[in-house]
């Protein structure tokens, strides 16, 4: 709706790079910065090849004073790289005695938009962060945001603080998720309930209640990538203990996903061979079709390795994307084909949830889609094979809805006090 309203007025699309850079007063670099897959820093450092390519295009085609704004999530001191490339173009002009006047300012303006709520986050931001060393350039960028953002929400910093703040914000959010999931595991072992613990600690104004919901672990394109980038930076600057600290956040997230897989195997008598498990949700969070680093990927891979037959449903994720993530093509006519090899785990994309429940041994909820909250479990219990299980990794099921269903119910972070967890 926003694009439609603005297009042709103050929003235009073009692939004429040279002409538009020449006319531009301000240029936002908003390209992807994935984790390097090979070479120095592989698995942790950011791949900045597209950022560098953009900087070189700006250096080549700009014709006036240009403000270059880092919008991508970048490691601290990337602005130095961009500035170096831009400055080299000025030296080239001087060496060639060209009569051109071009100059640059580099600002950092990281985005804090969350998938699924990006438009709301854009219109009503918690803060707008602008880092730079030229106050005039900062003011020009700030004036754009002042059209709709209150002045007290625009934070000005030096450029390095702005770059680091983005990585740190994502690291802190991911840390909270790993922290509450670790406490959820302890709750299950001791008879506590992680929802009650979350409510108690979240009421403390120093802590707050956000990001204290236990789940299957963090995913998405940012958290893991940015923490590993932070780890790499700390290692690069010789801060091994700091690097180890932040690396533990990622390691605990992976452990937690494995813990859920192992728990399902244990509850289903130690084997999943030829057992049908319905997976509800594959996206890393609701209101998006994004599966990048989704907890569902690792958990489903683990269950397939155990020989399970997975019926995967998600209202937004394309089956082709699931195939890419799992590295396995789906079985289409599963009722006939899956009987060929009982020891080989397989998966099928479930178009119809009700049909998927027929003959299933377990249901695992991995994404908090609203439609899963309204499932009639009493009716579902009639379709499942006994003894049946429902594993709620998102805490979206009201436990009272499971009464009189004869379904065994596990909810993340909920412990049952028994002789096994009484230690005094």
Q: Which residues form the catalytic set?
A: 111, 166, 222
Inter-residue contact 55 to 85 (CB < 8 Å): yes
Length of the chain: 424
Inter-residue contact 142 to 156 (CB < 8 Å): yes
Residues contacting residue 65 through CB under 8 Å, at least 6 positions apart: 25, 101, 102, 103, 104, 105
Nearest-angstrom CA–CA distance, 157 and 264: 48
Nearest-angstrom CA–CA distance, 16 and 343: 55
Residues contacting residue 195 through CB under 8 Å, at least 6 positions apart: 214, 395, 413, 414
Nearest-angstrom CA–CA distance, 390 and 251: 27
Nearest to 384 by CA among 411, 353, 363, 402: 363
Q: Residue 254, SS3?
A: helix
Inter-residue contact 110 to 70 (CB < 8 Å): yes
Main-chain dihedrals φ then ψ at residue 414, nearest 5 degrees: -115, 115
Nearest-angstrom CA–CA distance, 49 and 408: 51
Nearest-angstrom CA–CA distance, 84 and 87: 5
Nearest-angstrom CA–CA distance, 366 and 279: 7
């Amino acid at each position: 709706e926003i694009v439609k309203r603005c297009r042709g007025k103050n929003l235009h699309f073009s692939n004429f790079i040279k002409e538009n850079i020449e006319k531009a007063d301000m240029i936002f670099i908003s390209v992807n910065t994935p984790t390097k897959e090979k070479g120095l820093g592989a698995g942790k450092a950011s791949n900045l090849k597209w950022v560098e390519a953009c900087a070189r295009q700006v250096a080549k085609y700009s014709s006036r004073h240009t403000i270059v704004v880092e919008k991508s999530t970048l490691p601290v001191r990337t602005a130095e790289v961009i500035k170096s490339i831009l400055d080299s173009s000025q030296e080239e002009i001087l060496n060639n005695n060209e009569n051109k006047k071009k100059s640059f300012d580099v600002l950092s303006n990281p985005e804090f938009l969350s998938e699924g709520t990006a438009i709301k986050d854009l219109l009503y931001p918690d803060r707008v962060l602008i880092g730079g060393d030229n106050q005039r350039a900062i003011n020009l960028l700030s004036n754009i945001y002042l059209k709709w953002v209150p002045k007290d929400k625009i934070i000005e910093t030096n450029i390095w603080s702005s770059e680091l703040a983005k990585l740190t914000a994502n690291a802190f959010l991911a840390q909270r998720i790993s922290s509450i999931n670790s406490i959820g595991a302890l709750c299950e072992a001791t008879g506590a309930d992680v929802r009650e613990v979350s409510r108690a600690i979240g009421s403390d104004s120093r802590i707050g209640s956000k990001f204290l919901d236990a789940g299957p672990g963090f995913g998405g394109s940012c958290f893991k990538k940015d923490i590993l980038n932070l780890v790499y930076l700390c290692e690069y600057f010789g801060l091994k203990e700091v690097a180890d600290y932040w690396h533990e956040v990622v390691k605990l997230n992976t452990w937690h996903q494995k813990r859920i897989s192992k728990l399902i195997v244990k509850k289903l008598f130690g084997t999943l061979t030829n057992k049908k498990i319905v997976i509800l949700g594959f996206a890393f969070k609701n209101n998006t079709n994004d599966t990048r680093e989704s907890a569902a990927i690792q958990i489903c891979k683990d269950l397939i390795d155990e020989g399970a037959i997975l019926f995967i449903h998600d209202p937004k994720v394309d089956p082709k994307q699931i195939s890419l993530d799992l590295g396995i093509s789906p079985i289409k006519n599963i009722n006939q084909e899956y009987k060929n090899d009982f020891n080989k785990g397989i998966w099928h994309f479930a178009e119809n949830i009700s049909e998927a429940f027929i003959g299933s041994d377990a249901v695992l909820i991995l994404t908090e889609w609203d439609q899963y909250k309204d499932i009639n479990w009493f009716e579902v219990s009639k379709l499942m094979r006994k003894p049946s299980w429902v594993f709620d990794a998102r805490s979206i099921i009201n436990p009272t809805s499971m009464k009189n269903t004869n379904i065994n119910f596990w909810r993340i972070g909920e412990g049952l006090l028994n002789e096994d967890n009484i230690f005094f």
